[in-house]
Structure 1
């Protein structure tokens, strides 16, 4: 796939971090498709852009910021679908907690509005 497509995907992931850290639930939700599937680190399945925004409106009232992201791996499954795996963590009240480190899986699709996230799953990193 083209370098432009890879840059567009990375820009989408940058938007995830920017809107989260700004506490912008509407902007965050706008990065997802209307029918997106969103799975939290504790296994809650949230369906749809509206529900994702609603969930994050409350969450963004807490002092949690995203740390990272690590450089994502991007694999284009077609010209209109990309799979991304990234790592990340969070900072709570100014302190980074390694217990909050995650592996993040995203599926992005090309829409008439540009690339949007169709699915997301957050899995905590397991340590022995």
Structure 2
């Protein structure tokens, strides 16, 4: 049985919900919940240029981060907010999502010098999930 294609308004709301869950999972340090937001065959390119292929790789890399150097870190910005992300659907079931955010230490205030631009590709099968992720340090135009 195929899943119905989402309408444009419902697609945007569902993608923003997906972004909200991405932030929540990061801020909770929950690698499993974070990984569930990605397709089984996701491509994930970190800020440092490391390419992770597949959901298990995304989960394990984030588990190591959340238990190690990024323990207690926070994803700042509001990618799920009304003006927090640009969503451009290239097909009814595929969208490019771009947002600006930053990762801060557990007790550190947001630092604009650490802002990144994140580009994701969201796909809809049985639900919206991310199939590609690219994180790049933000620079001024």
Scaled to the shorter chain, the TM-score interval is over 0.9
CA contact (8 A) 2:99 2:118 kept: yes
Alignment partner, residue 19 of structure 1: 25
Q: Does 1:84 align with 2:97?
A: yes
Q: Does 1:40 align with 2:46?
A: yes
Alignment partner, residue 68 of structure 1: 77
Q: Compare the two structures and name the one with the higher strand fraction.
A: 1
CA contact (8 A) 2:42 2:53 kept: yes
Tell me, in whole angstroms, the C-alpha distance in 1 between the residues paired with 2:23 and 2:106.
Answer: 17
Where does 1:109-124 land on structure 2 (aligned, <5 Å)? 109-112=123-126, 114-124=127-137
Tell me, in whole angstroms, the C-alpha distance in 2 between the residues paired with 1:116 and 1:87.
Answer: 19
In the alignment, structure 2 segments of 5+ residues that lack a partner are: 1-6
* Structure 1 residue runs of 4 or more that deviate by more than 4 Å after TM superposition: none
Count of matched residue pairs: 127
CA contact (8 A) 2:121 2:130 kept: yes
- How much is the aligned-residue C-alpha RMSD, in angstroms? 1.4
Q: Does 1:56 align with 2:62?
A: yes
User: How far does residue 127 in structure 1 lie from its aligned partner after superposition?
Assistant: 4.6
